[in-house]
Structure 1
Amino acid sequence: MSAPFALSLQDLAPIAEGTTTAEAMAETIKLAQAADDLGYTRLWYAEHHGMPSIASSVPEILIGSAAAHTKNIRVGSGGVMLLNHAPLRIAEAYRTLEGLHPGRIDLGLGRAPGGDGYAMRALRSGGGEEFSAYLAELMAFDEDSFPPEHPYSRVPVSPGGVRLPPMWLLGSSGASAQAAGQLGIGYAFAAHFSHTPAAPAFEAYRYAFKGTEAFPRSRAMMCVSVICAPTDEEAQYLSRSQAVSWALFTTGEQRKLMSPEEAHARVLTPQQQSVIDHQSTLWIVGSPETVRDTIAEKAELAGADEVMITTTVHSYELRRRSYALIANAFGVTPRA
């Protein structure tokens, strides 16, 4: 079957037990090239801090690397946690990326800190201001729209002669949907960790939407967690690494992503098992047919224009295989 929606992927740059950080970094390039060849629409990198199992802490560096090693796929942030950064720095970084790779960069923005309270303090996150103020400042820098009396009106954004790439607002409830619509930017809903239904948020987004040059029409993306293998049984087996990793993270025990063998042997506390029982209802795990039918049903119910997939398994090779099986199941046209 051919999907009635675009397919994209998110890479958290997982660091698996038994591998080095350098190997995890090299894998980001391999996955980007594989995604480009498979025909995926876009590839986004998240911003996470203080997590031993995730190497994606500075999206713009990974974006620049991936874009330089691919030809067609759009590459972006999913997303920049704006409260961790001065808006001027983000404006400069993403204008630079857009200048280097015109027409292939996305700027996804989120309001979460991307880490725990300790990481927030280390980043000096927020500065006491609200996300909306940071977002307004970022857009004013890009549009050169500060009032003449504003001190920032005297600050030219470098590099000049290029605008920010298309912007997306990330959300895990309906709170950001209306704002994204009013701004005329894309909206991405985090269905991979939010139990809130995506459909009401998409409806609010489309109702408020006002077209812009970057987005003449609304664009609603649903992000899902998927593990695909040739059989349901193998996919379930591989998913144990993600399940145990999530349980350990939420109960304050962090480490690199363990193998499925070790994860199955791990004895969990009742609290950790409860975390898995709750969160695993959001994960899509199975054979290509199972995964295809489940994704298609969820996308149709939500009214998604695009589905972004994130996959967490211990083996980098099997993670790439998962993305290949999904693309083939939906009849995505390869670029290779």
Structure 2
Amino acid sequence: MIPLSVLDLSFVSADSTPAQALHDTLALARHVDTLGYRRYWLAEHHALPNVASPAPEIMIGQIAAATTRLRVGSGGIMLPNHAPLMVAERFRMLEALFPGRIDLGLGRAPGTDGITARALRRREAPSGNGGDDFLDRLQELLFWDQGFPEGHPFRSIVASPAGVPLPPLFLLGSSDYSAQVAAQIGAGFGFAQHFAGMPAEGPMRAYRQRFEPSRLGPKPHAILAVAAICAPTDAEAERLAASARLSTLRRERGEYRPLPSLAEALDYPYTPAERARIEQGRDRLHVGAPETLRARLAALAESVQADELMIVTAVPDRAARHDSYRLLAEAWGLQGA
């Protein structure tokens, strides 16, 4: 079986606080470290009441220090929000402190609303190309690692700490744009199936078919991020999924509220249109007992040619969330589970 990893958004639940969500992230990382999961990635979001972490690089250091086996990384750093030199230096520091255990995943979206994105950015994007300067920032980030060409004004600057390389690079996305760029530069690729508006198969296969080996990587590595909830029985897993389904429905309406409690979700008065919308989104939330979920995820990974699955589990109850990752690890046959 291919490796399993974890994507953690540091969800804030209705009966908790953002500070508690960060501590829950640390506890979950320690838990899955003993189960045999390969990676633990943290996302970057700003000014959203349902997720607690705006700074994955800080959480990466905390989690790497609290675990022993996991690779820890960003899923991802939203590059348009950051000066490439700052990204290079922060992740060189992490690599120096935890050699061979850090990943640098990069996203193109702001991870927030439009007005907050303006507040985050130190300079306006150029007017050309629709105001999108992601490729310019990506090229500059690679230059900080590989060296600037002759005549570049930054050529004399040494990114600190000197002599430490950038960690392995992954481009993240929910469309085929990042898949194409990742293939062209020889980077890893992660597809966010848990919220993508298109099927994963096209971008995942295109990335593999067009991959060009480079200094970043000799062969493609495609990660599929999926939302999944596991419980002892199919019925219990479906029950636990009520919170995630209501949260998704609200998010699609622009309501970024904390993850609702299970009681609130089960008692919510859904309209027929809302129930129909939930049914339409069932293929983006994988739910079931261990063997049910193992079979479904294995088939999905094979169909899109994924090298790795990254699991995001939105369950407000901490114990149930830990059990979900444990049950899946046992069914998957992870070493340590």
Name the TM tier (shorter chain).
over 0.9
Query: Structure 1, residues 44-74: CA drift from partner, whole Å, max 9, x if none?
Result: 0011112111112111011000000001110
* Residues matched between the structures, number: 331
Query: Structure 1, residues 187-227: CA drift from partner, whole Å, max 9, x if none?
Result: 11111112423222222212222224552221111111001
1:155 Cα deviation after fit: 2.3
2:87 is the counterpart of 1:90: yes
In 2, are the aligned partners of 1:193 and 1:279 still within 8 Å (CA)? no
Q: CA RMSD in A?
A: 1.7
Question: What secondary structure does 1:175 align onto?
Answer: helix
Counterpart of 1:21 in structure 2 is 18
In 2, are the aligned partners of 1:229 and 1:325 still within 8 Å (CA)? yes
- Equivalent residues in 2 for 1:103-122, closer than 5 Å: 103-122=100-119
1:297 Cα deviation after fit: 0.8
2:101 is the counterpart of 1:76: no
- Equivalent residues in 2 for 1:122-201, closer than 5 Å: 122-124=119-121, 127-129=124-126, 130-145=133-148, 147-201=149-203
Aligned equivalents of 1:321, 1:25: Cα separation in 2: 19
Aligned equivalents of 1:287, 1:55: Cα separation in 2: 29
Question: What secondary structure does 2:47 align onto?
Answer: coil
Aligned equivalents of 2:138, 2:112: Cα separation in 1: 20
In 1, are the aligned partners of 2:22 and 2:53 still within 8 Å (CA)? no
Aligned equivalents of 2:205, 2:117: Cα separation in 1: 33
In 1, are the aligned partners of 2:185 and 2:216 still within 8 Å (CA)? no
In 2, are the aligned partners of 1:240 and 1:260 still within 8 Å (CA)? yes
Aligned equivalents of 1:126, 1:291: Cα separation in 2: 45
Counterpart of 2:331 in structure 1 is 329
In 2, are the aligned partners of 1:247 and 1:273 still within 8 Å (CA)? no
Aligned equivalents of 2:321, 2:120: Cα separation in 1: 31
Counterpart amino acid of residue 120 in structure 2? L
Pairing partner for 2:49 from 41, 52, 56: 52
Q: TM-score, structure 1 length as denominator?
A: 0.93
In 2, are the aligned partners of 1:248 and 1:272 still within 8 Å (CA)? no
Query: Structure 1, residues 227-257: CA drift from partner, whole Å, max 9, x if none?
Result: 1111111111111111111222222333221
Distance change (3 Å), C-alpha of 1:272 and 1:87: farther
Aligned equivalents of 1:35, 1:16: Cα separation in 2: 20
5+ unaligned residues in a row in structure 1: which ranges?
none
In 2, are the aligned partners of 1:239 and 1:313 still within 8 Å (CA)? yes
2:105 is the counterpart of 1:102: no
2:297 is the counterpart of 1:295: yes
Counterpart of 1:41 in structure 2 is 38
Question: What secondary structure does 2:176 align onto?
Answer: coil
- Equivalent residues in 2 for 1:278-317, closer than 5 Å: 278-317=280-319
Counterpart amino acid of residue 69 in structure 1? A
In 1, are the aligned partners of 2:19 and 2:52 still within 8 Å (CA)? no
Aligned equivalents of 1:195, 1:295: Cα separation in 2: 19
Question: What secondary structure does 2:226 align onto?
Answer: strand
Q: TM-score, structure 2 length as denominator?
A: 0.93
Aligned equivalents of 1:126, 1:315: Cα separation in 2: 41
1:125 Cα deviation after fit: 7.4
Aligned equivalents of 1:271, 1:52: Cα separation in 2: 26
Question: What secondary structure does 1:152 align onto?
Answer: coil
1:269 Cα deviation after fit: 5.4
Aligned equivalents of 2:153, 2:272: Cα separation in 1: 55
Identity %: 46
- Equivalent residues in 2 for 1:178-257, closer than 5 Å: 178-257=180-259
